[in-house]
Structure 1
Amino acid sequence: MKTLELSFKGSDMRVKHLRLKYVNTELTADDVTAVMNQMAKAKLFVKDGVNLYADPLRADMVETTKTTLMAVDTAPTA
């Protein structure tokens, strides 16, 4: 599974992460940069007077793979 991980610096100077699943894997750096800048400008996420996503820092496409090491067959027996 691929996940888009967006990192922002909040107005409290702490780094915040926003992880989005089921994203378009054809996104370009320009696409993501534009959206991150729009999010920061819109101040969509404010909590207790702190703008959580004030300054865009980075965006990463993270790919997770799952490897099953052991599984118990739970199929009903006749």
Structure 2
Amino acid sequence: MNFQDVLDKVCNGVSDNKTSQKLGISRISFSRYRNGRQVPNDELLDKMIEMSGLSPQQVYLAAYAEKVHNPKVAEAFRHLAA
């Protein structure tokens, strides 16, 4: 699972704009997450866990895989999050 999959679960068929409002963040911030330019902080990841129904392990590992600049480590995180 990658972080885009997490965001898709958080949205659950609702627009990114409405999802960003539910999360209490700007549409621009959500767009940065969607485009892989930024990763949310832990507090926001916790909100995403609640909204998505995913396990904390899946969400945190997918998010941290985005933060890691080592492709092998990132792939290992994604594999663990699956």
The verdict on a shared fold, with TM-score over 0.5 as the criterion, is no
Name the structure where strand makes up a greater proportion of residues. 1
Q: Give TM-score scaled by structure 1 length.
A: 0.25
Q: Give TM-score scaled by structure 2 length.
A: 0.25
Name the structure where helix makes up a greater proportion of residues. 2
Which structure has the higher relative contact order (CA within 8 Å, separation 6+)? Answer: 1
Please identify the structure whose Cα radius of gyration is greater. Answer: 1
